[in-house]
Amino acid sequence: MKTFFYKLMVTTLFTLSFSNASAFSYVDDFEGYEKGANLSSGYNESVTAGNAVTFPSGVDTELVSLTDGVPGINEAVPDSPVNQAIQALPPKSRSGNCTQCAIRFSYSGSSDLSQDAWSEQRFSINSDALPQGKNGLTNFWLQYDLYIPENYHFRDPEPNASNWYGGGDKVLVVWADENSDPIKPMLQIARLMKRNGSSGETWDPDTAYLEYWFASFDPVTGERRFFDDKGIEGGYQVLIDPVIDRGNWQRRTLHVRMPTSEGSNDGVVEYWVERRTGTDRSITKKLIDVKSGNFFGGNKNYLNRGYLLGWSNAGYNYDVTYLIDNFILANSIDSIDASAIKASSNENRLPNPPSLTIE
């Protein structure tokens, strides 16, 4: 299989150039893996040698079947939403027994406000899957589904702090090459909570606001430079709205196009969240929209690694479990569900049906 894959790549390279026709696309709905497999310890690499993307390590992640009920989630989880971009492809042949399978992320809660929490899943592009001379993707599309449980909460570990916002919990990080090298393109998306006001009033409890930054190598100083570092001033974009997101799936999509040169300033960063994915009440909003990025990465002008979720500075009062499914990493918009990046014309913030009252 691996040999065949290699030959296919070589043949492709001889006949097509990477820029116009050599599509890179990896999709994974996690079906057919072994139920309960520990993704934190390299399980995926052991069963998917030759895959274009592997999930080499993580923290407190495992593969679970939604049909069995998910440990740590009390409610019945709605089936993973269909992603047409995955559905259209032939199913992967795997020997495991997991159906309606997804990655479970377990965060441990504590009544101690100083206690952080941690769960994450790393992913990495297999260099064998790239054309010779390419180390990563300069046009990077990442799409995945995230389930936000009914007991999701976002506590304030420092309720007496004077900053209006706090937190900084990791949501998604992507970068080039091994993490030990600090000077390389690296994009981090995190989330902030809105703290109590000066007179003790609470604003938007449990609402998560987006913050992000993008750093790359500065050829002038030889140091890391931050292209963008947007927190609360970045438009007050809501990442998790507890009223509509609890008990639902979100389809999240990140697009990064690296600048073509140091002086071109044509880098792109875009990020969309589709809420209530898989229902007839889905709504989509674009949370990041950058079209003039100057984050050229020099000889590392690409992305090839990342992790999903990650460290929670705020921690949790009690255990919270998230799910991720329908993972796509590609170099073309053609490989993702493009319907999930069409912004809705209005933001229908109707609550979920169980709490809707008609008078």
Q: Contact positions toward Ca ion, by CB under 5 A?
A: 29-30, 80, 101, 325
| DSSP per-residue letters across 196-223 | P-TTS---STT-EEEEEEEEEE-TTTSS
Q: Supply the minimum distance, in Å, between the C-beta of residue 165 and Ca ion.
A: 34
Q: What per-residue string of b and e applies to 230-252 under the rule 16 or more CB within 10 Å gives b?
A: beeebeebbbbbbebbbbbbbbb
Q: Supply the minimum distance, in Å, between the C-beta of residue 310 and Ca ion.
A: 21
Comparing CB distances to Ca ion, the nearer of 65 and 301 is 65
Comparing CB distances to Ca ion, the nearer of 39 and 101 is 101
Comparing CB distances to Ca ion, the nearer of 62 and 325 is 325
In the three-class reduction of DSSP (H, G, I as helix; E, B as strand; rest coil), residue 261 is classed as coil
Residue 13: count of CB within 10 angstroms of its CB = 15
Comparing CB distances to Ca ion, the nearer of 30 and 302 is 30
**Residues facing 107 on adjacent strands:** 320
Q: Supply the minimum distance, in Å, between the C-beta of residue 132 and Ca ion.
A: 33
CA distance 297 to 300: 5
Q: Which residue is nearest to Ca ion (CB)?
A: 29
Q: Supply the minimum distance, in Å, between the C-beta of residue 30 and Ca ion.
A: 5
Comparing CB distances to Ca ion, the nearer of 301 and 335 is 335
Q: Supply the minimum distance, in Å, between the C-beta of residue 28 and Ca ion.
A: 8
| Residue indicated by tokens 């639902």 | 248
Comparing CB distances to Ca ion, the nearer of 104 and 191 is 104
| Residue indicated by tokens 């007179």 | 199
Q: Supply the minimum distance, in Å, between the C-beta of residue 332 and Ca ion.
A: 22
Q: Supply the minimum distance, in Å, between the C-beta of residue 65 and Ca ion.
A: 9
Comparing CB distances to Ca ion, the nearer of 207 and 277 is 277
